[in-house]
Homo-oligomer: A and B are copies of this chain.
Amino acid sequence: MGKFLRINTSDNSFTFEETPETYAGLGGRALTSKMILDEVPATCHPLGKQNKLIFAPGILSGSPAADSGRMSAGAKSPLTGGIKESNAGGLVSQKLARLGITALVLEGKPTTDEYSMIVINKDGVSILPAKELAGKGNYDVMEALWDQYGKNVGVLSIGQAGEQCLKGASINQADMNGRPGRAHGRGGLGAVMGSKKIKAIVVDDKGAGRLKMKDPEAFKAANKRWVEMLRKHPVTGEGLPALGTAVLVNVINESGTLPTQNFRSGRFDNAQDISGETMADTIESRGGIPSEACHPGCVIKCSNVYHDKEGKYLTSGFEYETIWAFGAHTMIKKLDDIAMLDRLCDDFGLDTIEMGVTIGVAMEGGMIPWGDGKAAVELLSKIGTYENEGKIIGNGAAFTGDALGVDRIPVVKKQALPAYDPRSCKGVGVTYATTPMGADHTAGYGVTANILGVGGTVDPLKKEGNIELSQGLQIATAAIDAAGLCLFVAFAVLDNEDGLPTIVEMLNAQHGLELTPDDVLELGKSILNNELEFNKKAGFTKVDDQLPEMFTEEFPPHNTKWDFSTEELSKTLSF
C-alpha cells in the first residue's frame, strides 16, 4: 500500500504517512471524495485554511492498463460550494502512482503573498520559492519547468486565473508535449490551489521503477482483451481517433440538442463551420496533429494539436465541449476565434465549459455582442491582465449573470451546463440536476442511450427511463473515475458484456484482490453517497437538485420542456 504525502502550505512543511487502513484499495475519485468528507469541514470557506486540495491517481494508474492515466483532484469547490472531483489526463497520475503516492494533499494556507512550487521525486519532496513563475500563464510555466526538470516530468500548474482565486480557475496538466492542453477544469479547483499559493507541482518518477503486479500474467491477458475491446468499438476505435470529441458537433446538432444562443434552440445554423469534420480538415491542411493521446497508454487518442493560419501551433486538446461553449452557445462561428479562446483558457488556467457559457451569459447581459469572436477574445484576455472585468467573467456563468442582472443563467449548483440541452436529451438533464458535482455531463453521460445508441436506447424527449439511465451511468462513472480510467472507455464497456469483468480482472491482478463486478458497482454507490453526505452537511437540499427556471421554456426544434419534478429527480441517487 502506498503513502499519503501531506503538504502543509501554512509553513511549507510536509509529511509522508502510510495510507490508513480505512482508505485501503481506494484511488481516484473514491479516495478524494472520502478524504474530503472525512477531513474538510463542509461549511468552511473554500478558499480558507480548512479546505484541502487532494490529488489521487486512479486505482489502475501507473499500470500498463490502457487508458488508465487519469488523476482525480478533489476539494470543496469555490464554484459550487459542494464537493468536487475533477479528473484529467497528463503525466502526473502515473508518475505519482509509480512513486507510491496514493494521495497528495495540500492543506493549510500561508499568510504570505509569495508563491511556492513543489517538486516530488523518488528522493523526496522540495518546496521552493516560485517568484519567477508568479504572474505567468501555464504555457510559460510549463515550458520553464520542462526546461529545468527535463521533458519527462509531470507538471500541474495554475495560471493567472488560479492566482486570482477565480471560480472558473482550472488546474492544468502538461500534456505529452509539455503544453497545458489538459485540465482539471471544472469547479474552480485552480482557485483552491491559488489560495494555498502553490503555483506548480513537478512530479518526476525517474528511477522509481515499474509498478509491481500481484499477478502479471493475468493482468497482461486482461489488458490485451481490454485494448482489443477499445479498438473494436466504433466510437473509441474510429469516431474519436478520427475527429476527436468534436465528432459530436454535427451529431448533436442533427439531433436538435446543440444549445444555441444561450439555450434558445437546439440547432446552430453555422454548425458546419465548427464541426469535427471542418476541424479535422483545418488541422490537416495546416500541419497540425488530428489525433493524439492525453497520457501514455491511451489507445483512443481523441486529443489533437490545432495550428493557426500561418501553420504555427495555436492550441491543443481542442474539444467538443469547448467548441460548443465558445461556438454555438455564443453564436461565434469562426473556428480560429474559438481555438484562440481555448488557448487563452489553457494559458490563464480556466475551465473552457464554464468560460464559454459565461461569455454567452455576458452576451445575454449586453456586455459584448452575440457572435463577436474578437470581442470575446478581448474580454477573456482581461483575466490574464488582472482587470476587474476579468474578475467578473473569471468567476463563471452564475456570477456573471448575477453581475449583469440576467435571469437566464444555465447552471446547476452554480456550475455551467455543458453541451447537450437537457430538454431534448433528458438522460443527461437528470445527471445535470442530480449529480453532487453541479451540472456535469461526465458524471452520467446519458447522451449514450439518448442519442448515440450506445448501451441501449432511451427516448431523449420523454421522461420514461431517463432517471434510471442517469442512475446507472452515475454509479458506473464514479467507479470508472476511481479506477483512473478515461470516461470514454464507457462506450466500449456499455456495449460489451465482457467490459466490466475485464476491468475487474485488471484490478484484481494488479492489487491481488478478489473483487466482483458487483463490488465495483457498490464502490460507485459508496462514492456517490459520500459526496451526497458532504453536500448535505454543506447545506444542499433537494431544491439544489433541479434545473433553473429557464428550462421550463419550450426548446425548438423538438419543442420539449424540462418537466421532471424535484420529487421525481430525488429518486435518481436514492439507493
Q: Which residues of A contact B (CB under 8 A)?
A: 42-45, 47-48, 50, 164-167, 191, 194-195, 367, 388-389, 391-392, 395, 399, 402-407, 409, 537-541, 543-544, 546, 548-550
- B residues near A367, Cβ cutoff 8 Å: 388
Judging by beta carbons under 8 Å apart, are A544 and B539 in contact?
A: yes
How far is it, in angstroms, between the C-alpha of A194 and the C-alpha of B541 when the chains are bound?
A: 30
Judging by beta carbons under 8 Å apart, are B549 and A538 in contact?
A: no
Which residue of chain B has its CB nearest to the CB of A389? Answer: B388
Judging by beta carbons under 8 Å apart, are B539 and A405 in contact?
A: no
A53, chain B: closest CB distance, angstroms:
14
How far is it, in angstroms, between the C-alpha of A167 and the C-alpha of B398 when the chains are bound?
A: 14
Q: Which 6 pairs of residues, A with B, have the shortest CB-CB distance?
A: A165-B405, A539-B543, A47-B407, A391-B403, A45-B407, A48-B407
Judging by beta carbons under 8 Å apart, are B164 and A405 in contact?
A: yes
Judging by beta carbons under 8 Å apart, are B548 and A537 in contact?
A: no
- B residues near A50, Cβ cutoff 8 Å: 549
Q: Most chain-B CB neighbours within 10 Å: which of A403, A537, A540, A544?
A: A403
Known: A388-B389, A395-B402, A548-B45. A407 touches B195 (CB 8 A): yes
Can you show 17 pairs from A to B with CB atoms below 8 A apart? A43-B543, A43-B546, A44-B549, A45-B549, A45-B550, A47-B405, A47-B406, A164-B405, A165-B405, A194-B405, A388-B392, A391-B392, A391-B403, A392-B403, A395-B402, A399-B399, A539-B540
- B residues near A544, Cβ cutoff 8 Å: 539
Identical subunits present? 2
How far is it, in angstroms, between the C-alpha of A406 and the C-alpha of B391 when the chains are bound?
A: 12
How far is it, in angstroms, between the C-alpha of A48 and the C-alpha of B552 when the chains are bound?
A: 12
A163, chain B: closest CB distance, angstroms:
9
- B residues near A388, Cβ cutoff 8 Å: 367, 388-389, 392, 403
- B residues near A541, Cβ cutoff 8 Å: 539, 541
Judging by beta carbons under 8 Å apart, are B404 and A391 in contact?
A: yes
How far is it, in angstroms, between the C-alpha of A309 and the C-alpha of B388 when the chains are bound?
A: 34
- B residues near A194, Cβ cutoff 8 Å: 405
Judging by beta carbons under 8 Å apart, are A538 and B548 in contact?
A: no
Which residue of chain B has its CB nearest to the CB of A404? Answer: B391
How far is it, in angstroms, between the C-alpha of A539 and the C-alpha of B541 when the chains are bound?
A: 6
How far is it, in angstroms, between the C-alpha of A80 and the C-alpha of B38 when the chains are bound?
A: 29
A30, chain B: closest CB distance, angstroms:
25
How far is it, in angstroms, between the C-alpha of A391 and the C-alpha of B409 when the chains are bound?
A: 17
How far is it, in angstroms, between the C-alpha of A48 and the C-alpha of B392 when the chains are bound?
A: 21
